Amino acid sequence: VIHAVNHTSSPVATGEPTILKGSGTITETVLGVNFRISPFSFFQTNTLGAQELFSKAASFIKLPHSKQTIMDLYCGAGTIGLSLLAQWIGNFVIGIEIVEDAIKDANYNAQINKLDANSYFVAGKTEVLLRHDHNIASRLEDIGLVIVDPPREWLHKDVVDFLNNLKKQHKFQLIYISCNPVTLARDLDLLLQAWQRDLQVLQPVDMFPHTHHVEMISVLQ
């Protein structure tokens, strides 16, 4: 049980937290992988729905071989990337997330699931780290899959440009998970202009019953 006070005028679920009871974190299990989640670390609100979402996304993955790197952008607590590693999809995951507490959770989750030797999670702006983090740059030639699950707004233009340029140099699959079909459509239009391939998959998943919201899985090969 946590009480957080937001001292700003922005209507966001964040603030200065005070733990009233318990450890201050919760633990969820998705696809057999345990995840610690701190108050401001992103995690899907519908856990059973999240398992369906990630399972469906995994069913579309076609890596040329299993010993390839997965790049998980906007990774939160490392949920998607670590879930895939646990299913022997890819052999290394790179995770980027701007929220430092989420990256602390991701590294902890990698450790408790014995996946820390096969993962690298870093906090910061995705558009900056993609171009300036040497650990990421050293693994780009082995990228087989990129997963993006961005905020509702959209992908940063520099991220779109980076992915388009990376596609010109290396073969990899892109899976874009979105909670906002409007911004997804805009981003896919920008990506498809450079990829010169039709959209392979567009799959809705009803994560929020009795609302107009839907998660979308899109796949570019």
Report the alpha-carbon distance of residue 24 to residue 165 in Å, rounded: 42
CB-based contacts of 211: which residues, under 8 Å, 6+ apart?
none
**Among 179, 199, 202, 219, the one annotated catalytic:** 179
Nearest by Cα to 178 from 218, 220, 126, 211: 218
Q: Is 179 a catalytic residue?
A: yes
Q: Between 79-86 and 100-112, two packed helices, what is the crossing angle to 10 degrees? A: 20
Q: 97-129: buried (b, 16+ CB within 10 Å) or exposed (e) per residue?
A: bebebbbbbbbbbbeebebeebbbbbbeebbeb
Tokens, residue 141: 């030639």
Question: 20, 87 in Cβ contact below 8 A?
Answer: no
Question: 206, 188 in Cβ contact below 8 A?
Answer: no
The Cα-based distances of 188 to 60, 160, 203 in angstroms read 17, 9, 14
Question: 80, 72 in Cβ contact below 8 A?
Answer: yes
Among all residues, which ones are annotated catalytic? 179
